[in-house]
Structure 1
């Protein structure tokens, strides 16, 4: 395809090719255990922004800094959300028999499960 005679078609072809290669890179990275968040940080920090103004670059750098600063908090929120979605039912099954026991009869695990349930209801 001649880019001089058909710039729109050439650009479209370029974008399709870039998207295809990017998708392959994402799939490969995920197979190797790289998270989407890490991949996004890597791609945005190493990619050149074509036709990007200084304000866009500054905004991107601000977002990257904010993401790095809040990483620990966001990781904790993500983990807490995972626990709420995946352990609430299981801990609920244990709750009944554990609540019926006297405080001194409960195991350490039952005490922690009841604390978790009280905190996350």
Structure 2
């Protein structure tokens, strides 16, 4: 639990200090996610990430979200800060989530993938 808190601290510190994300580098980082998630409006094992930045949590159509994610998502929107925190430790942030991915440990990877996801529109 201590390492999760430390990871979250570094992610939030990086985000607040203006670490710029690189969308091209984020495309490469996204390969870690692509087995379960798509950037076009199609669900796979996980929900589509098309248009995720600014979208209400657990809201992509026709995806069966876990009850844990539905409860977590109540009145929340995926903004850059929430995504950064979640991507650092998904299972710690949402206990009971179906997402098996342990998280991204490097703040730069998180900033990069968010920059990439910001460019992925819901209409693609």
TM-score tier by shorter-chain length is: under 0.3
Q: Which has the higher contact order (CA 8 A, sep 6+)?
A: 2
The structure where helix makes up a greater share of residues is 1
- TM-score relative to the length of structure 1: 0.25
